[in-house]
Amino acid sequence: MTENNLFTPIAIGELSLSHRVLMAPLTRMRATVPGNIANEMMAQYYAQRASDGGLIIAEASQISEDGRGAPSTPGIHTPEQIDGWKLITDAVHAKGGKIYLQLWHMGRLSHQSYQPDEGLPIAPSAIAANTEVMTPDFQRVPCPAPRALETEEISDLIERYVHAARSAMEAGFDGVEIHAANGYLLEQFLQTRSNQRTDDYGGSIENRCRLVLEITEAIAAVWRANRVGIRLSPYGIANDSGEDNPMPLYTHLIKELDKLGLAYLHLIEPRASGAGQREVDHKNVPSAAELFRPMWHGVLIAAGNFQGENANAMLVNGNADAIAFGRFFISNPDLPERLRMGVKLTPYNRATFYGGGAEGYLDYPTMGQTAKD
């Protein structure tokens, strides 16, 4: 048995961390609108969950205006958004924590009401997702059929990712994570379900992986590769995603990404696919971390329905190097310390996940506060 466990120090890229309990990126829909700007309430939320030597991966943030597709989500492409995020990075750093930002484009999971010209959202192909989108007023409506991105528009899309990466650096983040999971734009390019292009970005596995690799290389040129991570969901089914046979596609992609020297690979376990929308525990599904660990020589982060015991087992057996916790980090601001001490976790209230104010956001107690009640 190795000595790896949740409270063994680890180096992730250029960061030296004191433990391996990471906060996963979690959409909470509490940014200031108009403007989609991170705010003081968000700074309090992240500061509550920051720990000395811990890493937070902040919530998905759109790289450009056309990347929006959910209400009150923050962006990272305007000066005002950069200033808003500085509140958060300063607050986390004041607690001794580290923080990455997840870069996001929703692609076909958007709606005309979010688009700057009220036009159709972009996607690799003009194929509607068989799911719903939430409009700016929090109403759920069917996803529209998107428009296929023209080949000559690809370079501009890559530049928008680069601009967002530079903006994250200006906002004081310690690195960025590329969101290529959960059915959003980059995964749409990866999978045959959503990509039926006939140019250099469609067809073969190599072509479908091309955009993700080009964007990753471009962002690594801005940040240095060991300040860049990427999130994938190889066996996920969220948001009408899913590849009939994921192994060939993700084997190629992960082997190519492995060559780039990234800070980490972040894999969502398929048992938790779609967990943001409802309680799920998909049965008879493989472990993404176990399958792809042999192909990845850097730090591997696993996420999805983990608690203390099964998280530590994942590290002990060598299938992951760190564990990202989501929903239980919402309801347990001091989650690392609770896991260290084996204290019972506070249950979360799903009804307050998305939108609203301080309730279900800032009012979950720490262990010390619980003891005083």
Taking the C-alpha atoms of residue 104 and residue 177, their distance in angstroms, rounded to an integer, is: 9
Mean pLDDT check: name the lowest of 9-18, 19-28, 137-146, 280-289. 280-289
Q: Is 184 a catalytic residue?
A: yes
Which residues, in sequence order, are CB contacts of 121 under 8 Å at separation 6+?
66, 69, 106, 107, 108, 109, 110, 111, 112, 114, 115, 144, 146, 147
Looking at the DSSP bridge assignments, the partners of residue 232 are 180, 267
Strands (E), 185-298: 228-232, 264-268
Mean pLDDT for 92-102 is: 98
For β-strands 322-325 and 132-134, DSSP reports them as: unpaired
Residue 92 scores a pLDDT above 50: yes
Mean pLDDT for 8-29 is: 98
Looking at the DSSP bridge assignments, the partners of residue 200 are none
The DSSP letter of residue 201 is T
Mean pLDDT for 341-364 is: 96
Taking the C-alpha atoms of residue 301 and residue 267, their distance in angstroms, rounded to an integer, is: 6
Catalytic residue among 45, 46, 114, 184: 184
Beta carbons of 69 and 109 less than 8 angstroms apart: yes
- pLDDT for the residue numbered 270: 87
Identify the H or E element spanning 10: strand 10-12
Q: Looking at the structure, give the CATH architecture of the domain made up of residues 10-372.
A: Alpha-Beta Barrel (3.20)
Mean pLDDT of the chain: 94
- Start-to-end Cα distance in the chain: 41
Select from 34, 20, 37 the least CA-distant residue to 266. 20
**pLDDT tens, 39-58?**
999 999 999 999 999 999 99
Which residues, in sequence order, are CB contacts of 371 under 8 Å at separation 6+?
none
**pLDDT tens, 167-225?**
999 999 999 999 999 999 999 999 999 999 999 999 999 999 999 999 999 999 999 99
The DSSP letter of residue 100 is E
371: pLDDT confidence band, cut at 50, 70 and 90? very low
Which residues, in sequence order, are CB contacts of 373 under 8 Å at separation 6+?
365
Residue 275 scores a pLDDT above 70: no
> Domain residue spans in the chain?
10-372
Select from 9, 6, 20, 18 the least CA-distant residue to 96. 18
DSSP string of 130-185, one letter each residue: SSEEE-TTS-EEEPPP-EEPPGGGHHHHHHHHHHHHHHHHHTT-SEEEEEE-TTSH
Which residue type occupies 228? V
- pLDDT for the residue numbered 49: 98
278: pLDDT confidence band, cut at 50, 70 and 90? low
Taking the C-alpha atoms of residue 102 and residue 186, their distance in angstroms, rounded to an integer, is: 13
- pLDDT for the residue numbered 148: 98
- pLDDT for the residue numbered 4: 47
Beta carbons of 202 and 188 less than 8 angstroms apart: no
Residue 117 or 232, more confident: 232
Beta carbons of 126 and 197 less than 8 angstroms apart: no
271: pLDDT confidence band, cut at 50, 70 and 90? confident
Select from 51, 4, 44 the least CA-distant residue to 23. 51
Q: Which two tokens stand for residue 308?
A: 């203390």
